[in-house]
Amino acid sequence: MIQAKKLSKAYGSLAVLNEVDLQVKTKEIVTITGPSGAGKTTLLNILGTLDVADHQPDRKLEVGGQDVFALQGKELAKFRNQYLGFVFQSHQLLPEFSAIENVCIPAMIGKTPLQKAQKDAMELLDFLGLAQRADHKPAMLSGGEQQRVAVARALINKPKLLLADEPSGNLDSKTADQLHKLFLSLRDNFDQTIVLVTHNKELAALGDRSLQLVDGQWS
């Protein structure tokens, strides 16, 4: 699913990533841990095409067989929308829209007909136990419910890869545990490949593999 080689990133004189390699198999859950400032989020952003690795001759990033570095502009945006799903520590839901409207947004960007987008969104919300909350705006939902809506939004386009950055960071321990179990069910029910950045030891332990990043390198 992911073939990454010699990914480096520096901001001026500050080296954040130093020739990081990563291979992730289809339907695998890989968790990435490490101290703050280790480069975890930067790596996730590069995998998700939200940032770009520094140019060097041997760098490589393939996701689902696609050479990501060969894509630019509209092609890159289309690839990101169709093949990648994102869940962040902050749910980043649009407050003026209902849960189901938030979930539909990536599908609408991908030009999915409205009726199909709404049907798919409702099926996801039902799977996540939120069917009765579909018409509620984010302010009317609990933190755990908001994050589940964000998960549904990430899945609406049936992405090949789900990327999550500290998804349970703002949740209490009980709600976080529920979210952790959800990621396992996503892999089992949707054949989902997942890369998770987390400080949570319980979540890290749920992965098929747990990797530690320290000072921009695997430790």
Question: What local confidence, expressed as pLDDT, does residue 178 receive?
Answer: 86
Residue type, 211: L
Residue 51 or 179, more confident: 51
pLDDT digits (tens, 9 = 90+) for 117-166: 999 999 999 999 999 999 999 999 999 999 999 999 999 999 999 999 99
Q: What is the percent of the chain where pLDDT is above 70?
A: 100
pLDDT digits (tens, 9 = 90+) for 7-18: 999 999 999 999
Q: Provide the CATH number for the domain around residue 40.
A: 3.40.50.300
Total domains in the chain come to 1
**Cα–chain-centroid distance for residue 202?**
18
Cα separation, 181 vs 199, whole angstroms: 16
64: left (phi over 0), alpha (psi -120 to 50) or beta: left
Tokens 């349970």 belong to residue? 168
The two structure tokens encoding residue 209: 């593999």
Q: What is the DSSP string of 66-99?
A: EEGGG--HHHHHHHHHHHEEEE-SS----TTS-H
The pTM (predicted TM-score) of the whole model is 0.92
Cα separation, 133 vs 148, whole angstroms: 11
Cα separation, 148 vs 145, whole angstroms: 5
* Inter-residue contact 125 to 156 (CB < 8 Å): no
Which domain does 86 fall in, by range? 2-218
pLDDT digits (tens, 9 = 90+) for 101-116: 999 999 999 999 999 9
What mean pLDDT do residues 48-54 have? 95
Cα separation, 131 vs 135, whole angstroms: 9
pLDDT digits (tens, 9 = 90+) for 186-212: 888 888 999 999 988 888 998 999 999
Cα separation, 130 vs 149, whole angstroms: 8
> How high does pLDDT run on average in the chain?
93
* Other CB atoms within 10 Å distance of the CB of residue 74: 8
Question: What local confidence, expressed as pLDDT, does residue 190 receive?
Answer: 84
Question: What local confidence, expressed as pLDDT, does residue 169 receive?
Answer: 83
Q: How many helices (H) and strands (E) does the chain have?
A: 7, 10
Residue type, 97: F
Query: Which range, of 24-28, 75-79, 159-163, 174-178, averages the lowest pLDDT?
Result: 174-178
What mean pLDDT do residues 43-62 have? 94
Q: pLDDT-based confidence at 90, cuts 50/70/90?
A: confident
Question: What local confidence, expressed as pLDDT, does residue 180 receive?
Answer: 86
Q: Cα torsion for 161, 61, 102, 164, to the nearest 10°?
A: 60
Q: pLDDT-based confidence at 181, cuts 50/70/90?
A: confident
* pLDDT of 173 over the 90 cut: no
Q: pLDDT-based confidence at 56, cuts 50/70/90?
A: confident
Question: What local confidence, expressed as pLDDT, does residue 121 receive?
Answer: 96
